[in-house]
Structure 1
């Protein structure tokens, strides 16, 4: 274990040249020209002996746990009411998801980067913003946190009520095809991960330093807007851990019938966002050749 606490500005990363995801990613010395940070190594064995690595994983677990706890309870509260007029409705559900992400990313940005979503982690890994070691660890902890969060909700609601109210599980709504559901998940995750890249781009911060930006805010709004658009189609996944946690605890056949959509769609959307950011927006492959 390391003998001293790492600088919190470095967040999940021990090395200063790599930017964490969150408000600390905006920290730049405005008097210096921006330099492209080197890609994160594919494997970084040294992380396994660092407390900051495990602290970051715990932060992802707790954040995803709280995310599922708040959002599934909100969803089930809307489903439970006989009159949608007496509940927060779809708009309230969207606000619950977006607002919770805003709060949790703000809290965990300097510790783990505030991913709280395997699709975000996957997109950042493809862009070489973090190592494979860290990416796998984050996804495992996010998934476990989601399962724990859904399990606590089931404990509060009691098993019978939890099942009658659908457990917050995602599925393609009646009247929509599996292709429509997959497309909604791809585009929705593309919007989210593209926003993550844009909101945390250190070069943009250095160039537009006169325009302050709080990264969790646009990320939370992206989640809110995507939920408004796609709740009627898939219930909005765009987060494989959220979908898996609810499905495991609910554990009914129809929750598993379309479950693959809530992994394949978000991962494709995240890959497209990473490709667009790295190749088109930042043109990094072309810079390396010049």
Structure 2
């Protein structure tokens, strides 16, 4: 194995331990969990506020779907940039970076043994609580619009089935997780993959 590893121009990080209870004693673990909570809270707040802001404007005067997409993409970029360096166990540094912001990403990284079960569960709980608090913050700031416009929730558009909407969500989630795996692949840095 060492001979094969020696010929590679990258190093495969070791898989994360399945159950690492020592993480619970580490300040960096708790800091990373807090970062997940705050990042998800901010993401949901900005997303819900942007959608409500769009919905309350007269036709063709709001930010539109493209503006909402830019708000979502921009927030993901900023939040991942701000939280990705908040790490866990230095031995598994490449595996246990924060900045997931989405339980689907955390679940995918757990299945691939990039994060331990303890970290995955803690991240997902923090992300769900962050989402609840983020939506609650949006509701408290703009209660009237939040209540009258349905809280900025998605609906299945007339002419589409719930099955088609579910399929689109599954495909979108797959693309998100696939992108995270691609961006964090240790082989990509070694080949200068961002340069044609």
Q: How far did residue 76 of structure 1 move?
A: 0.3
Greater RCO (Cα-Cα under 8 Å, separation 6 or more): 2
Q: How far did residue 200 of structure 1 move?
A: 1.5
TM-score by length of 1: 0.59
> Which residue of the partner structure matches residue 41 of structure 2?
65
The equivalent position to 2:195 in structure 1, one of 197, 201, 211, is: 211
Deviations 1:143-190 (A, max 9, x none): 1111111111111112x3212111012332332112101110111111
Deviations 1:100-143 (A, max 9, x none): 00000000000142100000001111111000110000000011
Is residue 2:137 matched to residue 1:162? no
The equivalent position to 1:87 in structure 2, one of 62, 65, 81, is: 62
The equivalent position to 1:103 in structure 2, one of 69, 78, 90, is: 78
TM-score by length of 2: 0.86
Q: How far did residue 209 of structure 1 move?
A: 6.5
C-alpha distance in 1 between matches for 2:62 and 2:50: 9
Aligned 1:119-130 pairs, distance under 5 A: 119-130=104-115
Superposition CA RMSD, Å: 1.7
C-alpha distance in 2 between matches for 1:161 and 1:117: 26
C-alpha distance in 2 between matches for 1:209 and 1:174: 42
Alignment size in residue pairs? 179
Q: How far did residue 87 of structure 1 move?
A: 1.2
Structure 1 residue runs of 4 or more that deviate by more than 6 Å after TM superposition = none
Q: How far did residue 210 of structure 1 move?
A: 7.5
The equivalent position to 1:117 in structure 2, one of 71, 90, 102, is: 102
The equivalent position to 2:124 in structure 1, one of 135, 139, 160, is: 139
C-alpha distance in 1 between matches for 2:83 and 2:162: 35
SS in 1 for 2:157: coil
Unaligned stretches of 5+ in structure 1?
Answer: 1-31, 213-290
Indicate if the aligned counterparts of 2:52 and 2:145 stay in contact, CA closer than 8 A: no
